[in-house]
Structure 1
Amino acid sequence: MRRSLTLFLVLPVLASCTSVLTGSPTPGTVLEQRGPAGTVPAGLERFYGQQLGWGDCADYATTGTTRSQYKNKKSIECARLEVPLDYAKPDDRTIKLGLLRQKATGDRIGSLLLNPGGPGGSGMSAAASLGVQVGKTALGERFDLVGFDPRGVGASQPQVRCLTDTERDADRLDVDLDTSPAGVAQTEAENKAFAEKCAATTGAELLANVGTRDVVRDLDVMRSALGDEKLTYLGYSYGTHIGAGYAAAFPGNVRALVLDGAVDPTQNQVESLIAQGAGFQKAFDAFAAWCAQRQDCSLGKDPAGASKAFRDLTLPLAQRPVDVGSRKLSYNDAITGAIQAMYSEELWGPLNAGLTELKNNSGQVLLQLADAYYDRDAEGKYSSITDAFTAIKCVDEPRVTDRAVIDDVARRYKAAAPFLDDGNPAVGALDSCAFWPVPPSVQETKPVAGLPPVLVISTTGDPATPYQAGVNLAKELGGGLLTYEGNQHTVYLQGNECVDPAADAYLIDLKLPDPGKVCS
């Protein structure tokens, strides 16, 4: 199944007028009511002031990865927050969002809410991963670190689900490189079937209300239920889009926003996709230059020839996938594995090893990299991120059905990222969003009066959200810009001795870095 225009993520209310009760608490659960706090929209008082039942996180794990993260970890606790499925009908059906918290160890300012991006990424998993490092810092002393799974994602109930694990494995083997009229028609039929399956499995009502517009509303409920009059928020990648959306919808409710790896507010989805293609090519060129200095470089000693060498190595997989135990490495997975490695210099070594393996007709490392991208665990279970990614993108952006535009995108993307050129004519197919069963619900991100200073962090060699996007977002929001010189996607809380203290000082003391500050 080809997605040509996407970027490379119930229970009724049982309540009094001020508290939503989410069922009988399980043994060991501690009920806590800190809200309502700050501004509360009329008609939503029972959500903004609800009790949260905090307890062991084991029951919130949905994958092998999260089971390992949450098991016997005493420093974290989990709860579920109840919100309206449709904010236009708050007295109708409700859904639940998963929250994971690591409490402040010192003089607490409030909660630091975290979203890792995607769309479709688990904030609970991200908070559990960051917890040990954050807990030893001034940030961990002053803030409860709270990760949330957005609606439809991870531990939130219900999940967006479109494909079974077996169907997802099969989808990854479906190359879809035939750009003849018959090939395009077949791809579009598959994409239409995928959209229909999503609607049948997940339900159109959830799909219609799973976008950023509604996540922004959920974030404000979270703020209040956690007892914070103003929101302190950290968003990575797509999480910056959530943060910008919140700034537009609730500017007076913002205390501090750190937005790392910005989605460009000035570009439409087509321009963003082309810019991202150029970003991945820039990262690949940096990888090729690094590789060329090694004796064991899989792509040869001439960086200028690396794109061709990569294509020559991977394109045969389109006809002859490589056996990897009981599975196969497809052309799609080889490309996905390479893209995964572009997110961090730490993965350049594994990518080089995987490409060397491929020369010897082996595909284990590249398949592992692709599995990491799709969040497939060792048991063969997938998280909800891939299905949620499509569902959220399809309602967050206007659908594109003009075939001339789609063909132009294919042409421009090939030119922007030649290492990913599959050698076929630049012909596109309607993606699943063109057949989506519910209309878009686009979230405005234009800033309005009353927004306090925010901090945008942008990395010069970021492949997925190129540097200029951060420059543009900082300008759009009237905020500060912190530049990091490096080759990776996002940087804050990854141990950089320049970035981390600067962003910590902003979150704790509301002090922006000096204008023009650059870290490396």
Structure 2
Amino acid sequence: MDTRSLLRTTGTVIAAAGLLLSGCTSGGSGEPRAAASSATPSAQPSPDPAALRPYYAQKLSWRDCGVPGFQCSTMKAPLDYANPGSGQDVDIAVARRQATGPGKRLGSLVVNPGGPGGSGIGYLQAYAGIGYPAPVRARYDMVSFDPRGVDRSSPVECLTGPAMDKYTQVDQTPDDAAEEARLVTAFKEFAAGCQERSQRVLSHVSTVEAARDLDLLRGVLGDKKLTYVGASYGTFLGATYADLFPDRVGRLVLDGAMDPSRSALDLNRDQTAGFETALTSFAKDCAKQSDCPLGKGGPEAVGARLKEFFRKADAQPVPTGERDRPLGEALATTGVIAALYDESAWPQLREALTAAMNGDGAPLLALADSYYEREPDGKYANLMYANAAVNCLDQPPAFDGPEAVRTALPSFEKASPVFGAGLAWASLNCTYWPVKATGTAKPLPAKGAPPIVVVGTTRDPATPYKWAQALAGQLESGTLLTYEGDGHTAYGRGSDCIDTAINRYLLEGKAPENGKKCRGASKP
């Protein structure tokens, strides 16, 4: 169960198809200027604007993706922004769906699904490019990219498929010194695999560098200002961009917001509490359903039964039909967490838990596989590899060793009696990372930027509502839009109130009143 700071939209809308990418030629617009940042988000030096001009002068050569309605290209970016023009570049895969009309084209709307590690191209093709509200798609070219280190953009690679299978099954609630040692060994082997297979890019996949790539993309698209919708971790990317380039901010929507001022330890503990909040909502709903496998009673009773199921799976994994992948506690927990991202998955979770409690772990394993983006043939997308690489570069590790985890366990278990121990131990993954962090936790005020809309969902499992409140308060021009409901993120998920407010902002530039609230469907 490696769920540390995996902040993205639901897995059902991230699935990606293969792409054919084209290269770049010279020409284009959007020449750079020195960044006017109020608070540099990392210790990395600012790049030389003159040395970046050839990159901004690229002209994207678009070609058919093989997916109807979409075009693809490739953009060059410096591997190291402190040394552009050295000949060490990365390829950034880009895709778009042109504005459908009617109405005057407003430019490009760049979208990001989160992660870090989520494929923007997959998100665009599977959801945003066809599922965003029609008035928005009519007026904007819908655009996304795979950030550096992700999927089609010089991807980080770490483990083979069989090795990743073993990694996902390692017990992350160690009961004794031997199990603790096996967990530490697993984290060390994961980190060593990333270093061995991805040494060239591993030091250059930070969010700051991705934000510079985002401005490069703005420039080569020919847009003077960036219009952007970032979901989940994508809000951190968007806020970082706004702080680096406040004078280039157009209309930014940050949905399911992160708090950039929180340390890795605090983020992980907050997220642990967020999943407990989501579990409470699920438990209340489950107790009212005739097919609830966790029985009746309040959330505490339901949570206790779920924890007991995990304990039994730890002692005796449930068969799944795959000899080498029985459903142990780690995979079972990941399957449950995957379904808590979206309340529409609750019926599927009830069915999967019922099957597992009756000796068939395959449905819950399928939920875990969707979370890890594991294909039926045993191949994994690089989501988890990029996720760790970016997180471990953006902030120092949450813990310096197992003893620190043991000290913090009570606070994690207070945040979530069900998930606390596992998520605390999962937070150890950056401790053994081969590359030193280049970023630190700090507020991102983006001084001078126009109004930026920050969206928070009150019972969001992955990005707790207080993070949205914090980010809206840190941004000099932040305006908070609240969805009172369940699930991760709010835009395009069924709330007319939310969609209307954001559509008006994107189409007319009118931000919702700060503090505006939209109510979701009533829950028990």
TM above 0.5, yes or no, is yes
Q: 2:361 maps to which residue?
A: 363
Q: 1:77 maps to which residue?
A: 71
- Provide the rounded CA distance (Å) in 2 between the counterparts of 1:135 and 1:185: 47
Q: 2:211 maps to which residue?
A: 216
- Matching residue within 226, 229, 236 for 1:241: 236
Q: Deviations over 1:267-316 (max 9, x none)?
A: 21111111111111111111111011111211111023001110122221
- CA displacement at 1:42 relative to structure 2: 2.1
Q: 2:319 maps to which residue?
A: 323
| 3-state secondary structure, aligned to 1:324 | coil
Scaled by the length of structure 1, the TM-score of the pair is 0.88
| 3-state secondary structure, aligned to 1:328 | coil
- CA displacement at 1:464 relative to structure 2: 0.6
- Provide the rounded CA distance (Å) in 2 between the counterparts of 1:76 and 1:4: 32
Aligned length: 485
Q: Deviations over 1:381-438 (max 9, x none)?
A: 211101111111110111231655422332211121112256x9x9958833222111
| 3-state secondary structure, aligned to 1:498 | helix
Q: 2:170 maps to which residue?
A: 174
| Structure 1 residues 28 and 459, CA gap change in structure 2 (3 angstroms) | closer
Query: RMSD across aligned C-alpha pairs, in angstroms?
Result: 2.4
| 3-state secondary structure, aligned to 1:504 | helix
- Matching residue within 244, 269, 273 for 2:268: 273
| Structure 1 residues 363 and 5, CA gap change in structure 2 (3 angstroms) | closer
Q: 1:293 maps to which residue?
A: 288
- Provide the rounded CA distance (Å) in 1 between the counterparts of 2:289 and 2:427: 42
| Structure 1 residues 88 and 116, CA gap change in structure 2 (3 angstroms) | same
| 3-state secondary structure, aligned to 1:233 | strand
| Structure 1 residues 241 and 135, CA gap change in structure 2 (3 angstroms) | closer
Is 1:493 paired with 2:487?
Answer: no
| 3-state secondary structure, aligned to 2:84 | coil
| 3-state secondary structure, aligned to 2:493 | coil
Superposed, which structure 2 residues align to 1:84-163 within 5 Å? Answer: 84-92=78-86, 93-106=88-101, 107-131=104-128, 133-134=130-131, 137-156=134-153, 158-163=154-159
Q: State the one-letter code of the partner of 2:157.
A: R
Is 1:348 paired with 2:346?
Answer: yes
Q: State the one-letter code of the partner of 2:352.
A: G
- Provide the rounded CA distance (Å) in 1 between the counterparts of 2:235 and 2:493: 17
Is 1:252 paired with 2:251?
Answer: no
Q: State the one-letter code of the partner of 1:53.
A: S
For structure 2, the 5+ residue unaligned runs are 9-19, 35-48, 520-524
Q: Is the Cα–Cα contact under 8 Å of residues 248 and 445 in structure 1 kept in the other structure?
A: no
Q: Is the Cα–Cα contact under 8 Å of residues 334 and 370 in structure 1 kept in the other structure?
A: yes
Q: Is the Cα–Cα contact under 8 Å of residues 265 and 476 in structure 1 kept in the other structure?
A: no
| 3-state secondary structure, aligned to 2:434 | coil
Q: Deviations over 1:107-158 (max 9, x none)?
A: 11111111100110011111112245457612112111111100010111x2
Q: Is the Cα–Cα contact under 8 Å of residues 171 and 183 in structure 2 kept in the other structure?
A: no
- Provide the rounded CA distance (Å) in 2 between the counterparts of 1:381 and 1:431: 25
Q: Is the Cα–Cα contact under 8 Å of residues 4 and 426 in structure 2 kept in the other structure?
A: no
- Provide the rounded CA distance (Å) in 1 between the counterparts of 2:427 and 2:118: 25
Q: State the one-letter code of the partner of 2:456.
A: S
- CA displacement at 1:167 relative to structure 2: 1.2
| Structure 1 residues 140 and 152, CA gap change in structure 2 (3 angstroms) | same
> Share of identical aligned residues, percent?
38
Q: Is the Cα–Cα contact under 8 Å of residues 256 and 488 in structure 2 kept in the other structure?
A: yes
Is 1:183 paired with 2:179?
Answer: yes
Q: State the one-letter code of the partner of 2:407.
A: D
| 3-state secondary structure, aligned to 1:282 | helix
- CA displacement at 1:451 relative to structure 2: 1.1
Q: Deviations over 1:70-108 (max 9, x none)?
A: 3xx1x1111111000001111220010111101112311
- CA displacement at 1:448 relative to structure 2: 4.0
| Structure 1 residues 308 and 8, CA gap change in structure 2 (3 angstroms) | farther
| 3-state secondary structure, aligned to 1:418 | coil
| Structure 1 residues 176 and 79, CA gap change in structure 2 (3 angstroms) | same
Q: Is the Cα–Cα contact under 8 Å of residues 109 and 227 in structure 2 kept in the other structure?
A: yes
| 3-state secondary structure, aligned to 2:336 | helix
- Matching residue within 444, 449, 452 for 2:450: 452
- CA displacement at 1:249 relative to structure 2: 0.8
| Structure 1 residues 134 and 31, CA gap change in structure 2 (3 angstroms) | farther
- Matching residue within 61, 73, 98 for 1:53: 61
Is 1:43 paired with 2:55?
Answer: no
- Matching residue within 461, 464, 467 for 1:466: 464
Q: Is the Cα–Cα contact under 8 Å of residues 261 and 443 in structure 2 kept in the other structure?
A: no
- Provide the rounded CA distance (Å) in 2 between the counterparts of 1:115 and 1:469: 18
Q: Deviations over 1:188-219 (max 9, x none)?
A: 2332222111100111x311101101101111
Superposed, which structure 2 residues align to 1:193-204 within 5 Å? Answer: 193-203=189-199
For structure 1, the 5+ residue unaligned runs are 10-25, 59-69
Tell me which moved more, 178-187 or 485-494. 178-187
